[in-house]
Amino acid sequence: MKKLINRPDRVVSDMLAGMALSYPDRLRHLEGTGVIVRRDAPVTGKVGLVSGGGSGHEPAHAGFVGTGMLDAAVAGEVFTSPTPDQILEAIKAVDSGQGVLCIVKNYTGDVLNFEMAAEMAAAEGIDVDHVVVNDDVAVEDSTHTTGRRGIAGTVFVHKVAGARAQAGGTLHEVKQAAQTVIQNVRSMGVALTPCTLPEAGKPGFTLGENEIEIGIGIHGEPGVERTKVRTAADVTTVLADKVLSDLPFQPGDRVAVMVNGMGATPLMELNVVGKELHAILKEKRIEVVDTWIGEFMTSLDMAGCSITLLKMTDDTEKWLSAPADTVAVRRY
Amino acid sequence: MKKLINRPDRVVSDMLAGMALSYPDRLRHLEGTGVIVRRDAPVTGKVGLVSGGGSGHEPAHAGFVGTGMLDAAVAGEVFTSPTPDQILEAIKAVDSGQGVLCIVKNYTGDVLNFEMAAEMAAAEGIDVDHVVVNDDVAVEDSTHTTGRRGIAGTVFVHKVAGARAQAGGTLHEVKQAAQTVIQNVRSMGVALTPCTLPEAGKPGFTLGENEIEIGIGIHGEPGVERTKVRTAADVTTVLADKVLSDLPFQPGDRVAVMVNGMGATPLMELNVVGKELHAILKEKRIEVVDTWIGEFMTSLDMAGCSITLLKMTDDTEKWLSAPADTVAVRRY
């Protein structure tokens, strides 16, 4: 295993310590908790937003902590849900009395632990609610999930709910904004290579020399099909067809688009996929109002990408384009 | 070879077309030229800034086109200098009569072709000048270079010169700002894996299962030492020692720091390196005023990173922190 780390069991705490040292004017690391909060948390008069999950998906989720997005991110060990105690620390650190919304990706451990933390927070008098993101259209159930998995579309939920909270929305309004995104967002991914967990030291699964896996999960959970290497145009068509037909997206719809790198895929290739996706959407007379290309929800050193489409409503479009100032997403 | 591309000979044009489709409000692709310009180029009354080089280093250079950084980026084929004709198109597209500065990384082909383009532009009556960035302290000459190579520190030159131009600096003043950065910036990299050129279809060199290469160039040019996998702390110390002793950086200096991913290295690992680098600088009583962690100057799918230190002057600090609005770098 070749990784720029010190010890496998220290990689998450080293990473979080590094982030706190690199962005001292933006972020605080609540040491020993895996929690990164906005420097100025709790923000008076604002609903707090908490997300998180297993590590290995960077910049998710600490990269989205800041003005107009999250107030706190909770980092579990690599590909491992954070504990209820960790999540409770985050909730407490961002509650200013206006309540806290947790944005949870649909994995069994995450949902259970966020729900338990919410109960603990409620017992301490905090008004807390949560939403569950399940944007991955590839499979209905998986090794880690009952129901669909939450993947890169979660970042659009962070952005929209974050802007709604920043604009003074109540807990109910912020949850509504998040739910609207969840209803209208769909994603699907492809892997070219597996990823290697630091503790394991070897890939979690294997792919042949010329083999790719369509519909892969962000922890390397099985997808829907293994196939030979195909062109970017072909791969994008396969992903887009499944995503488009699911909601379904219709001619005349306005959408935001994300092409998300899984960790080891060059930006060059993501832009080639972006070109193909734009061509497909144009042909279907679906209008793209916003495009996000880059790494948002990764899977360690996996090569591959996911595509995400989010259907606009007037409110969603307003909040998606609102200012944000985080390490990984900045908007004027 | 597993890549999300259509055809190896179309990868650069596909990528640039994709960028233009994804960021239509920001960028224009001068089709058939490999040139990406600011949507609003030429900007009246402003010195134009042009950079570029071989492709495969994304987000360099088109990702840095926008307010407060570059006016145009010229993309050659993968790891191949753009031609003088291409560069001339870029210069002409951004000249508003105030002159144009070209920021060139020190590779023999780039320097020759930018110089030839400048002569051609001068013959057409454009006031054009250039600077050459040579921040890589690893080796003095290399397979592609006479003198030191230009690597990730180039992005700091883009930022500072771009802000100086945006603030209305003359061609002379913008060049001065760039030269000050070049004098004060030093970098060095390490590779964990080689990279694969689309046209070649296989890695340009090999590294053993547990081998890394210290001092690698951004095209896979040989470094200074092959060694066994070492901890992030050890690797960072080796790179930082060489960088620090070169300028040299002194106790009491104020610096900006970059930890640049080579393309396939997870952000998690870059943040671990960031932690180690902050620890080293603190111990040497060097003050960090700004930290950039991420992918800025990549080498296709190479795993590894480089570290860059830039010593602050009052002017450099002012321009480095000034607003910028590009695809890859945004500052308020």
Residues B176 and B189 in one domain: no
> Model confidence over A142-156: pLDDT tens digits?
777 789 999 999 999
CATH number reported for the structural domain that contains residue B29 in this entry: 3.40.50.10440
For A284, what's the count of Cα atoms within 13 Å in the CB-facing half-sphere? 22
Is B219 assigned a catalytic role? Answer: yes
> Model confidence over A220-232: pLDDT tens digits?
988 999 999 999 9
> Model confidence over B166-182: pLDDT tens digits?
999 999 999 999 999 99
Q: In the prediction, which pLDDT does B237 show?
A: 98
Measuring CA to CA, how many Å separate A287 from each of A255, A290, B27, B76? 6, 9, 18, 31
Interface test with B, best of A268, A287, A289 (most B CBs within 10 A): A268
The mean pLDDT value for B254-280 works out to: 98
> Model confidence over A243-294: pLDDT tens digits?
999 999 999 999 999 999 999 999 999 999 999 999 999 999 999 999 999 9
Q: In the prediction, which pLDDT does A119 show?
A: 98
Neighbours of A129 (CB within 10 A): 16
Residues B299 and B248 in one domain: yes
Q: Is residue A132 part of a domain?
A: yes
Q: Is residue B331 part of a domain?
A: no
The mean pLDDT value for B264-283 works out to: 98
DSSP secondary structure string for all residues of B266-282: -HHHHHHHHHHHHHHHH
Residues 105-144 of B with CB under 8 A from A: none
Query: Is the complex ipTM more than 0.90?
Result: yes
B226 in reach of chain A (CB within 8 A):
no
Looking at A120, A149, A183, the residue that finishes a domain is A183
> Model confidence over A183-236: pLDDT tens digits?
999 999 999 999 999 999 989 889 998 999 999 999 998 899 999 999 999 999
Residues B234 and B134 in one domain: no
The mean pLDDT value for A155-161 works out to: 98
Residues B228 and B112 in one domain: no
Residues B166 and B210 in one domain: no
State whether B301 and A298 contact (CB < 8 Å).
no
DSSP secondary structure string for all residues of B14-39: HHHHHHHHH-TTTEEEETTTTEEEET
State whether A298 and B229 contact (CB < 8 Å).
no
Residues A136 and A49 in one domain: yes
Q: Is residue A224 part of a domain?
A: yes
Mean pLDDT of chain B: 96
Mean pLDDT of chain A: 96
CATH number reported for the structural domain that contains residue B244 in this entry: 3.30.1180.20
Task: Flag whether pLDDT at A126 surpasses 90.
Answer: yes
CA gap A106, A139 in Å, rounded? 12
Q: Is residue A8 part of a domain?
A: no
Residues A85 and A193 in one domain: no
Q: In the prediction, which pLDDT does A143 show?
A: 72
Q: Hey, which residues does B277 pair with through a beta bridge?
A: none
* Torsion angle of the four alpha carbons A244, A247, A249, A254, in this order, in degrees rounded to the nearest 10: -120
Quick one: what percent of chain A has pLDDT higher than 90? 94
* Active-site annotation holder among A61, A130, A158, A219: A219
Residues B207 and B310 in one domain: yes
Residues B226 and B311 in one domain: yes
Residues B219 and B158 in one domain: no
Our CA angle for A73, A79, A83, nearest 5°, is: 55
Q: Is residue A220 part of a domain?
A: yes
Looking at B149, B183, B217, the residue that finishes a domain is B183
Q: In the prediction, which pLDDT does A1 show?
A: 87
The mean pLDDT value for A12-38 works out to: 97
State whether B232 and A4 contact (CB < 8 Å).
yes
Is A29 assigned a catalytic role? Answer: no
State whether B18 and A272 contact (CB < 8 Å).
yes
| A86 within 8 A of A34, measured Cβ to Cβ | yes
Looking at A183, A212, A234, the residue that finishes a domain is A183
Q: How confident is the model at residue B141 (pLDDT cuts 50, 70, 90)?
A: confident
Task: Find the domain containing B41 and state its range.
Answer: 13-183
Number of structural domains chain B divides into: 2
Q: If we measure between CA atoms, which residue out of B241, B247, B202, B246 comes closest to residue B220?
A: B202
CA gap A157, A161 in Å, rounded? 6
Quick one: what percent of chain A has pLDDT higher than 70? 100
**Chain A nearest-CA residue for B324:** A332
Q: Is residue A328 part of a domain?
A: no
Quick one: what percent of chain B has pLDDT higher than 90? 93
- In the block, tokens 């250079």 appear at B61
Residues A100 and A234 in one domain: no
Q: Is residue B8 part of a domain?
A: no
Residues A134 and A204 in one domain: no
Among partner residues A21, A63, A268, which is closest to B55 by beta-carbon distance? A268
Q: Which segment of A20-34, B68-82, B139-153, B166-180 scores lowest on mean pLDDT?
A: B139-153
Q: Is residue B218 part of a domain?
A: yes
State whether A273 and B235 contact (CB < 8 Å).
no
